[in-house]
Chain A
């Protein structure tokens, strides 16, 4: 099965700095990678989607990269704020996996004022 892995350790950064979260995948590249934000006690909320043939995607303070050589996606939040504190999930979808989305375990981000 295709795996997707995120750092299970929490990431602590200072307000105003750039947060960088990592998502690594195994075997062949997924067709798409998606990133979601999840707050405690709530369902995930979609943030960004990047396709296999795209190197970078941006949305306001968010940036996602897709490196098929390193088998990795990086998720950046620039000028981070305490309100960005949450768990961030990445998920892969594959052309040969039907309609399934495979999620990583998530990385918790804590932004300190």
Chain B
């Protein structure tokens, strides 16, 4: 099993550009999450999904969008990139809710200039 995979590993965007961060898992997990991690600030939940077709906002959803058309994939969309979105983004999955361990991907380091 590959676990949770994320692409790209690194990306530099200009202000106002858009991009999609890809996330896939092969563990047949129902729950998937997107976090951002700023230096020394811990992880902040952006969006999560409890199954295909169901998504919900986390703590910091502004400026992002998600979709979940399959169990495996959970892409994160940035429509109008801003410098405040410079961060490391982690995707995670779990079999059920947050009472179970979460499996994290390797992260995407995004810089917006």
Contact = CB atoms under 8 A, between A and B. Distances in A.
Interface of A: 1, 6, 8, 31-32, 34, 41-46, 49, 89, 91, 93, 98-106
Contacts of A106: 40, 42
Interface residues of B, number: 28
B56 A98 contact: yes
B104 interface: yes
B97 A99 contact: yes
Given A43-B4, A43-B92, A45-B104, 15 more contacts: A41-B107, A43-B90, A43-B105, A44-B90, A46-B103, A49-B100, A49-B101, A89-B42, A99-B98, A100-B59, A101-B102, A103-B35, A103-B42, A103-B43, A104-B42
Contacts of A31: 99
Nearest to B31: A99
B65 to A, nearest CB: 18
Nearest to B91: A43
Contacts of A49: 99-101
Interface of B: 4, 31, 33, 35, 40-45, 48, 50, 56, 58-59, 90, 92, 97-107
